[in-house]
Amino acid sequence: MDETALIKAAQQGDQDAFEQLVRSYDQNVLRLAMNLLRSPEDAYDIYQEAFLRVYKNLGNFRFDCSFHTWLYRIVTNLCLDHLRKRKVRKEESTVVETSEGPLDRMTTVPEERVDGDPQRKLLSHQLKERIQNVLTDLTPRERLVFEMRHYQGMRLRAIGEVLGTTEEAAKNCLFRATQKMRAALGDFV
């Protein structure tokens, strides 16, 4: 069944069609949320909220845009809200409290192999700190555009559609994000 048929079937209450639809996109949605928020708990919440919203509002989807764009509007709005709340609460500290004690969120970032070399280990640690700082420096919108272009491989035109802006505006956003990355990480990579 092609995607249009799946969506129509899901709109008419076909649960299997809805599940197939979810499975076509959910890995990328989870990757996006995990990479943006760097917390499995938050990524889990975004996943649940996003697909429950899709389920509740699928009847209103009128094929005015692609389903991918519509879904990503929901996901990115949720992620933006989350990132903005974090900014307000100044919650970008790398350490979070979990049921198993304090956990450094940056441990979710794979560390470059340092082969026991203390000098490289130090550099790797400094690199992590710099990344954390530069991620905090990016605006939520810059961060989102960067994530969608770099890790999800989406074209700027599609990113613009998702964010309700022009391709040019998305390009400027990506440009600012990469400039900040370059300024912060240039001598490390």
For the chain, the 3-state helix, strand and coil shares in percent, each to the nearest 5, are 75, 5, 20
Closest contact distance (angstroms) between CB of 74 and another protein is 14
* Residues near another protein (CB under 8 A): 11-13, 15, 18, 22-23, 26-27, 30-31, 34-35, 38, 40, 43-44, 47-48, 51-52, 55-56, 108-110, 112, 131, 149-151, 155-156, 171, 174-175, 178-179, 181-182, 185-186, 188-189
Q: Name beta bridge partners: 102.
A: 97
Closest contact distance (angstroms) between CB of 55 and another protein is 6
Question: Which one, 118 or 186, has the nearer CB to another protein?
Answer: 186
CA–CA–CA angle 70, 75, 78 (5° rounding): 130
Question: For 125, left (φ over 0), alpha (ψ -120 to 50), or beta?
Answer: alpha
Closest contact distance (angstroms) between CB of 31 and another protein is 6
Strand 101-104 relative to strand 95-98, pairing: antiparallel
Q: Per the structure block, which two tokens stand in for 160? A: 């613009």
Question: Which one, 80 or 109, has the nearer CB to another protein?
Answer: 109
